[in-house]
Amino acid sequence: MAVLSIVEIPDPRLRLVCAPVETIDDEVRQLADDMIDTMYDARGIGLAAIQVGVSRRVVVIDLQERVTEDEEKPEAIRDPKVFINPELVSVSEETSRYSEGCLSIPEQYAEVERPASCRVAWLDLEGARHEEEMSGLMATCMQHEIDHLNGVLFIDHITRLKRDMLLKKLAKMRKNAA
Ligand code: GNR
Ligand code: NI
């Protein structure tokens, strides 16, 4: 078990285009394990490797609802999924809006419009290829994570005015916390 520290804006690593995983070896398996520990520790529903400083195309997601806001999710109902080299195969024309947050932009939220559903291809930790149609929060979260692999953040999808307001609130929050 290793909880890693999370990279936050304006760290330039969040703008890197991450490299595909060529070989699924012990290092990748260890990374995925540590990312899962880190995601639960931070109470996130997803995490991309670059958020722990590793510029690789690895994503972990667990959408399962928390029992309560301040109670930790019982380990028994945890269902983490690992996605190696995930790719959008196609996206729907229909869009949906969701109030998104990001562990790399702490405590800030904004409505983001994205394709409502998407078809995603990826490798699992055994190297097997999967392809699946995703919708709802899973589609939103997967697109948010694939964005991270390409150096894109949810604030890139909102208006400049909203982005500036959000960044100001973040600066203020950090100042008060310091
Ligand atoms: O924990 C997270 N919640 C979330 C909510 C709406 C849309 C996307 C997300 S992902 C985010 C964790 C994170 O930063 N993943 O990169
Ligand atoms: Ni994020």
Task: Give the tens place of pLDDT for each residue, 65-89.
Answer: 655 556 666 776 788 999 999 999 9
pLDDT score of 75: 73
Q: Which residue among 41, 102, 108, 113 has the greatest number of ligand 1 atoms within 8 angstroms of its CB, and so is best to mutate? A: 102
Q: Tokens standing for 60? A: 């972990």
pLDDT score of 26: 97
User: Ligand 2 centroid vs 51 CA: distance in angstroms?
Assistant: 8
Nearest CA to ligand 1 atom 5: 100
Q: How far apart are CA 2 and CA 37, in angstroms?
A: 6
Q: How far apart are CA 128 and CA 167, in angstroms?
A: 40
Is 71 one of the catalytic residues? Answer: no
Q: How far apart are CA 156 and CA 175, in angstroms?
A: 23
In Å, what is the CA distance from 135 to each residue of 51, 57, 140?
Answer: 24, 21, 8
Atom of ligand 1 nearest to the CA of 141: 8
User: Residue 105: helix, strand or coil by DSSP?
Assistant: strand
pLDDT tens for 148-164 read 999 999 999 999 999 99
Q: Is 86 in the pocket of ligand 1 (CB under 6 A)?
A: no
